Chains A and B, each alone.
Chain A
Amino acid sequence: MRDPRRVFADTAVSLVEKDRSVAVVYAEISGQFFGAAERRHPDRIINVGIREQLLVSVGAGLALTGMRPILHTFSSFLIERAFEQVKLGFGHQDVGGVLVSCGASFDTSSGGRTHQAPGDVSLIDTVPGFGIHVPGHPDEVDAVLRWAVAGSGREYVRVHAAQNSVAFPVTPGRFHVVRKGSRATVVAVGPMLDPVLAAVSDLDVTVLYASTVRPFDSRGLRESIDHPDVVLVEPYLAGTSSHLVAEVLQHLPHRQLALGVGRTELRRYGTPDEHAAAHGLDPTGIRRSITAFLSARAVA
């Protein structure tokens, strides 16, 4: 399978080649993918060095002149380190831009906490107007980036190393119905789909796939619900989208289980798979949580 981060870089370069209003700004990270194109387009592929505040503000400044900027570095530095630059440079100036991170919650698991960012989605969700995309396949990375750059809004694309075996069409604002069941609805976000499908293979539940979580497909969720029990499985902080599920079901007695990365700092290195298991996000952990959730209802 192709490296999703490489796919991002290749697509970004092809967009720069095709459209003179598109620019890429990065901060050393992923420079190995941009070097050759940077020599061809030194005014529109810009490495600012290890300067993440500048990275974000340069993107905003480009947008102020009518350019369409793509900003890129690790999630921990793009969103968390330079958060006020995101809030004021894009939100308060009210300009558009496409922010693309790699590293996700713990792709750099052996690097420790400094390179892990399970809170990035929660954080950027506080800035008005950001679409948030969590592509679950290299084809989706390519498609959502092309879609985002063709528009004029504020978009955050979170590129994960872990990917699903099958790509879905990119339809921002619409979830896909992957399978129908009757006992609960499970919303799997981005690369959580394959582990979720493995976890619920013999359970009678509906599975929805979301590669865009903002806007959240409230209508799609409402229409898919036979039984008002919802399980949310997100590859970042647990509960990040819970308030939107609660809003959909506000007039219905309902139950919700929110799975995701836990709040306690996990002071471990190792592999991303080991971290997923530690947060209960591997098929075994997801199955254990969903089974307990369904049986708790039966007991009550």
Chain B
Amino acid sequence: MTTATARTDTRTGFGFDDLPALLSRMTGDEKHSNAATSTLDVVWVLYDRVLRVSPDTAQDPHRDRFYLSKGHGPMAYYATLVAHDYFPVEWLDSWGSFNSPLGHHPDRTLVPGVEISSGSLGHGLPMAVGSAVGLRAQALDARVVVLVGDAELDEGSNHEAMEVAAALGLGNLTVVVVDNASTSYRVPGRIAARFATEGWDVTSVDGRDHEQLAAALSRRTDRPTAVVAAVEEKFS
């Protein structure tokens, strides 16, 4: 089920329904396009309804942080940032070219609003743990939301991070796992069970349902939260 969000950004006039047109301005290789689509609703809901951040507060220490750990397939991310006025829509037309700031994996030093440079898997969640510790140490009431893919959880570094995040009680940390069943050695239910075993607050939702996503992604407790967002299976 897809529940489209009707709201549009007041500055750009772009809304959720404009994302396909924005995506079509980017030409990427086939390998990346499916992955980009799997994250579309999650990323949109985060920027539209959950994160306390805007282009005006993109350097504010109090802002919420979004870490796109699964850096491949960033088209939905770029389109959402354009819709929310982080950079000009014209940038989309030349993405991936030598002089474009928009690569097939995002670079935080080149793209306004991008919090981490990603691409190699298994780095975003461990860095997010450090940032959650840093925000807490500075008594900043901001949160870190990190997006990972289900196959990205193959990387052992994530498991180091999920164990320690729970041990440290990082209530300002949220992981959203976009699960398109793309891991090679899949065990149904393993992701939610894994986070729950470590003591995370876990919610499983339909990754295309904006109401479910908004509710789960807004949830905060004294424990780190994991949202498992199921979307269409990649190889079905």
Contact B134 A23 (CB under 8 A): yes
Tier of interface size on chain B: 20 to 34
Q: How many residues of A contact B (CB 8 A)?
A: 31
- A-facing mask of B116-148, CB < 8 A → 1, else 0? 110010110011111111111110100000000
CA distance A287 to B168 in the complex (A): 54
Residues on B with C-beta less than 8 A from A84 are 120, 123
Q: In this assembly, does B61 line the interface, its C-beta being within 8 Å of a C-beta of chain A?
A: yes
A-B contact count (CB 8 A): 102
Additional A-B contacts beyond A25-B130, A49-B164, A54-B157 (20; CB < 8 A) = A23-B134, A46-B168, A48-B160, A51-B164, A53-B126, A54-B160, A57-B123, A57-B127, A57-B157, A58-B126, A60-B127, A61-B128, A62-B134, A64-B127, A65-B134, A65-B135, A84-B120, A92-B107, A93-B116, A94-B108
* Nearest CB of B to A73, in Å: 14
Q: In this assembly, does A59 line the interface, its C-beta being within 8 Å of a C-beta of chain B?
A: yes
Residues on A with C-beta less than 8 A from B132 are 61
Q: In this assembly, does A67 line the interface, its C-beta being within 8 Å of a C-beta of chain B?
A: yes
Contact A61 B137 (CB under 8 A): no
Q: In this assembly, does A66 line the interface, its C-beta being within 8 Å of a C-beta of chain B?
A: yes
Partner of B133 from A20, A46, A53, A93 at Cβ < 8 Å: A46
Closest 3 CB pairs of A and B: A61-B130, A57-B126, A65-B134
- B-facing mask of A54-96, CB < 8 A → 1, else 0? 1001111111111101000000000000001100110011100
Closest A residue by C-beta to B162:
A54
Q: In this assembly, does A43 line the interface, its C-beta being within 8 Å of a C-beta of chain B?
A: yes
* Nearest CB of A to B175, in Å: 14
Task: Name 5 interchain pairs, CB-CB below 8 A, sorted by A.
Answer: A23-B134, A54-B161, A58-B129, A60-B127, A61-B133
Closest B residue by C-beta to A65:
B134
CA distance A51 to B163 in the complex (A): 10
Q: In this assembly, does B109 line the interface, its C-beta being within 8 Å of a C-beta of chain A?
A: yes
* Nearest CB of B to A129, in Å: 12
* Nearest CB of B to A219, in Å: 30
Residues on B with C-beta less than 8 A from A58 are 126-127, 129-130, 133, 164
